[in-house]
Amino acid sequence: MTLQDPRELTRHALGRARQAVRCLPFQRSFYRNVEEAALSSSELVAQSDWSSQTRRRLNARETEDLLIWLIQLGVLRREVDGQGLTERVRLTPLGREVLIPWQETIPSAGLGSRLMHWCRRNRPRW
């Protein structure tokens, strides 16, 4: 199989997204919530029970950056209303598939995975 094979592309996207989900601070309950109802970064930050949704306290800008990264990976998508895209996000079908192995808790990634994830997210693109 070459990388152009759709099955290979899907497997690659799934592996990349699973790695990101393990590296990011969102807990399994966050993904359950965005599967059931759309949520914006400002709504997430304003919640008093933030510790049930994230491993650490996040500000609105950091949260929005993380949501954008998950959108780029295909895990989340922007919700659409009658006037176009909103700031709220929902889980995608790929996102549901990414989360299948972790019904209760998403395990933290190891150092090697975190480093690879950082490189993927921050390397310059030419």
Task: Read off the pTM.
Answer: 0.85
In this structure, the dihedral spanned by the alpha carbons of residues 86, 76, 4 and 11, taken in order and rounded to 10 degrees, is -170
pLDDT in tens, 12-23: 889 999 999 999
Query: CATH number for the domain including 23?
Result: 1.10.10.10
52 touches 105 (CB < 8 A):
no
Say if 20 falls within a structural domain.
yes
Say if 32 falls within a structural domain.
yes
Say if 21 falls within a structural domain.
yes
The residue segments making up the domain with residue 41 are 6-122
Q: Which pLDDT does position 4 carry in this prediction?
A: 62
Q: How many domains does the chain have?
A: 1
Say if 1 falls within a structural domain.
no
pLDDT in tens, 42-100: 999 998 888 889 999 999 999 999 999 999 999 999 988 878 778 899 999 999 999 99
Say if 85 falls within a structural domain.
yes
pLDDT at position 28 over 80: yes
